[in-house]
Amino acid sequence: MIEAITAIDINTFLNSSLGENAWIPGAVLFATWETIYMVFISTAVSYIVGLPLALILVTTEKGHILENQRINDVLGAIVNAFRSIPFIILLILLIPLTRIIVGTSIGTVASIVPLSIAAIPFVARLVETSIKEIDWGLIEAALSMGANAWQIIRKVLIPEAVPSIVLGVAITAINLVGYSAMAGILGGGGLGTLAYYHGYMRYQTGVMWITVIVLLILVQLIQVLGTRWSNQVVSKRR
Amino acid sequence: MIQINDLSKIYNGGGQEVMALKEVNLTVNQGEIFGIIGLSGAGKSTLIRCINMLEEPTTGNILINGQDVTLMNKQELRRLRQKIGMIFQHFNLLSSRTVFDNVMFPLEIAGVPEKKARQKVGELLELVGLSDKARVYPEQLSGGQKQRVGIARALANEPVLLLSDEATSALDPQTTRSILKLLKDINYQLGLTILLITHDMNVIKDACDRVAVIDNSRIVEVGDVLSIFSNPGTPTSRSFINTIINKEIPEEILHRSIVDNGSIVSRLLRVSFIGASAGEPLMSTMLQKYNVKANILYGNIDRVKDTPFGNLTLELIGTLELINQAMDFLRENGLEIEVLEND
């Protein structure tokens, strides 16, 4: 709603001065919205899958509450394998899968598939690090009270890691902003598509610069919000 | 209450075997405060963790109220742990929970209905004197307050045993005393058996009924705290006692020779008084009764748990016969005497 209204206002304002370039503000706003939408959904999906993976990675480690060397090794290898594929190649490799899931490999909805799949192993490692920061003493204390593994995960590992996990969300979302621009080049929509088709293919350097500035603002915004969110959680506990 | 039989623990780290506990035998009685003292790395931390099976012993067994904990399955072990409270050096409170919710934590684990649990938490916070801090997060508390929360938390499921893992080692001496007083009160009021480990002889002196000295993975001495204080049986025990009672004699005095003619000799003695005799004028009686001279080098009176405990280092000068008679007199009156040096 807000985007639409602002777009119209700016359009009417700029129509007089920009002439044939009058389409640009509306297009940029729409592309920005598409990018935010892709990043938001794929961040959410990657955490829904990545968080449990991180918990498995941590708790199946040697000496931990669900020690299982086999699961740990296999999962670790899979995560590493996905992380070692460059995103641009993953994007192409996943086209058939995207078609099966979404029905098409073009557009913002289709981009969410490779973006999420690329982010899941990243999130798994990121959250793993957050959880490992927790002092073992807390886990030991819970064990000494007779807690089972699930109680430790739910009542100790997750709540204690929240401030750090939240910072990780910002890092992931910022990464996904970058990835979404790459997906845009392959017809994924958003600011990437705009920059590529207009800024690069049609030599509209102005459009290119506008998308760069919008991306810059977007990234700053995500970082500021992430840091504020984390600080909020921490300061509540002080 | 607790019976430990031939307990050994070997760590297997990187192909290298490390012996953490060697053939430990120990009995802790119902209702006592039992201390285990040792230097860091002596094995005390492993020992206390074997009792609630946070560490699995390599051999041997541990009976708690007759039940062998080393044979328990996971389910039984969890139920047992709910009945063994534990407090820690670094408190280990959850930063994501308020003081109230931290104490609530073990009750949630045990599945206690919320209403009953909330009431219990209220009582416990009152017991440890932190009712006004219920809504506060641990970060805002001092070390002593954090440990009080830890104690309240450990008592939540009405344990049969409280394990204290260096609970006062991160606290200043004054706070240590107040925490030990709280533990003694709990021991007295609830009849709760407490097993504590420490490297601080003051903790043993202030709080414990009995003590085991652990050195190099073995228990080297077990006994009543008072008898170990007055008559330490091993060099390790002696060195721990010396950390709080100044028994070191300056070299000059130790090697000074005051023998000026054949029949007059000197003896350097350490005399320990326990309980009632600490209040009697035995020294002056001795000096009047036997013709010996005394040179007092060091004296101190302290309290071991609730009993006065004094100790005096003195040099007796006189004929050998009279000195021996004087020493016998002191022994007959219940004093412990240790001859520090012979000519």
Bridge partners for B24 per DSSP: B7
What residues of B are in contact with residue A236 (Cβ under 8 Å)?
Answer: 137
Q: Is residue B343 over pLDDT 50? A: no
Question: Where is average pLDDT lowest: A127-136, B18-27, B279-288?
Answer: B279-288
pLDDT band at B258 (very low <50, low <70, confident <90, very high): low
pLDDT band at A14 (very low <50, low <70, confident <90, very high): low
Q: Hey, CA dihedral for B281, B282, B284, B288, is it positive or negative?
A: positive
The total of structural domains in chain B comes to: 2
pLDDT band at B246 (very low <50, low <70, confident <90, very high): low
B90 CB neighbour count, 10 Å cutoff: 18
Q: How many CB pairs lie under 8 A apart between chains A and B? A: 66
Question: B117 and B176: one domain?
Answer: yes
User: CB A155 to CB B137 under 8 A?
Assistant: no
pLDDT band at B339 (very low <50, low <70, confident <90, very high): confident
**DSSP symbol at B250:** P
**DSSP symbol at B221:** E
pLDDT band at A18 (very low <50, low <70, confident <90, very high): low
Note the pLDDT of residue A6: 52
By CB atoms closer than 10 A (0-12, 13-18, 19+), residue A96 is exposed
Note the pLDDT of residue A238: 80
B6-30 exposure pattern, b = at least 16 Cβ within 10 A, e = fewer: ebbbeeeeeeeeeebbeebebebee
Note the pLDDT of residue B291: 87
- Which of residues B189, B215, B243 is at a domain's end? B243
Decide which of A43 and B243 is more confident: A43
* CA separation for the pair A76, A58 (Å, rounded): 10
Residue A175, token pair as written in the block: 């990464």
Note the pLDDT of residue B257: 57
User: CB B81 to CB A143 under 8 A?
Assistant: yes
Question: B145 and B183: one domain?
Answer: yes
Which domain CATH number covers B303?
3.30.70.260
Question: B43 and B97: one domain?
Answer: yes
Q: Are B201 and B125 in contact (CB under 8 A)?
A: no
Q: What is the pLDDT of residues B23-65, one digit of tens each?
A: 999 999 999 999 999 998 889 999 999 999 999 999 999 999 9
- The mean pLDDT of B323-340, rounded to a whole number, is 86
Q: Mean of the per-residue pLDDT values for chain B?
A: 89
Domain of B335? 251-341
Question: B292 and B323: one domain?
Answer: yes
What residues of B are in contact with residue A232 (Cβ under 8 Å)?
Answer: none
Pairing of strands B218-224, B293-304: unpaired
B322 CB neighbour count, 10 Å cutoff: 18
Q: Is residue B12 over pLDDT 90? A: no
Question: Where is average pLDDT lowest: A110-114, A120-124, A195-199, B336-340?
Answer: B336-340
Decide which of B238 and B153 is more confident: B153
- The mean pLDDT of B263-267, rounded to a whole number, is 80
A16 CB neighbour count, 10 Å cutoff: 8
Q: Is residue A216 over pLDDT 80? A: yes
- The mean pLDDT of B251-259, rounded to a whole number, is 63
Question: B35 and B163: one domain?
Answer: yes
Decide which of B230 and A167 is more confident: A167
Question: B182 and B265: one domain?
Answer: no
By CB atoms closer than 10 A (0-12, 13-18, 19+), residue B240 is buried
Closest Cβ–Cβ partner in A140, A147, A236 for B92 = A140
* CA separation for the pair B33, B254 (Å, rounded): 38
Residues 6+ apart with CB under 8 A from A84: none
Contact of A142 with chain B, judged by CB distance below 8 Å, is answered with: yes
* CA separation for the pair A224, A105 (Å, rounded): 33
- Indicate the fold that domain A2-15+22-236 takes in CATH: MetI-like fold (1.10.3720)
Question: B219 and B257: one domain?
Answer: no
DSSP per-residue codes, A135-193: -HHHHHHHHHTT--HHHHIIIIIHHHHHHHHHHHHHHHHHHHHHHHHHHIIIII-SHHH
Note the pLDDT of residue A3: 52
- Outline where B191-334 has alpha helix (H): 201-207, 225-230, 235-244, 251-254, 282-289, 320-332
- The mean pLDDT of B261-285, rounded to a whole number, is 76
Q: Mean of the per-residue pLDDT values for chain A?
A: 90
Residues 6+ apart with CB under 8 A from B66: none
Q: Are B297 and B314 in contact (CB under 8 A)?
A: yes
Bridge partners for B303 per DSSP: B308
Residues 6+ apart with CB under 8 A from A229: A166, A169, A170
- Which of residues B196, B219, B243 is at a domain's end? B243
Q: Is residue B245 over pLDDT 50? A: yes
Q: Which of B279, B272, B290, B289 is nearest to B334 (CA)?
A: B272
Report ipTM for this prediction.
Answer: 0.85
CA distance A152 to chain B (A): 9
* CA separation for the pair B196, B221 (Å, rounded): 16
Question: Where is average pLDDT lowest: A11-20, B94-103, B186-195, B229-238?
Answer: A11-20
Q: Is residue B253 over pLDDT 90? A: no
Q: What is the pLDDT of residues B154-184, one digit of tens each?
A: 999 999 999 999 999 999 999 999 999 999 9
* CA separation for the pair A56, B149 (Å, rounded): 31
Note the pLDDT of residue A1: 47
Note the pLDDT of residue B261: 61
CA distance A161 to chain B (A): 9
Question: B238 and B260: one domain?
Answer: no
Residue ranges of domains in chain A: 2-15+22-236
Which domain CATH number covers B137?
3.40.50.300
Decide which of A133 and A26 is more confident: A133
Q: Are A114 and A160 in contact (CB under 8 A)?
A: no
Question: B278 and B168: one domain?
Answer: no
What residues of A are in contact with residue B82 (Cβ under 8 Å)?
Answer: 145-146
- The mean pLDDT of B226-242, rounded to a whole number, is 85
Q: Which of A47, A65, A191, A184 is nearest to A120 (CA)?
A: A47
pLDDT band at B266 (very low <50, low <70, confident <90, very high): confident
Hunting for tokens 């021996």 — which residue is that? B324
What residues of A are in contact with residue B106 (Cβ under 8 Å)?
Answer: 145-146
- Outline where B83-220 has alpha helix (H): 99-109, 114-127, 143-155, 173-190, 201-207
- Which of residues B224, B243, B262 is at a domain's end? B243
Note the pLDDT of residue B213: 95
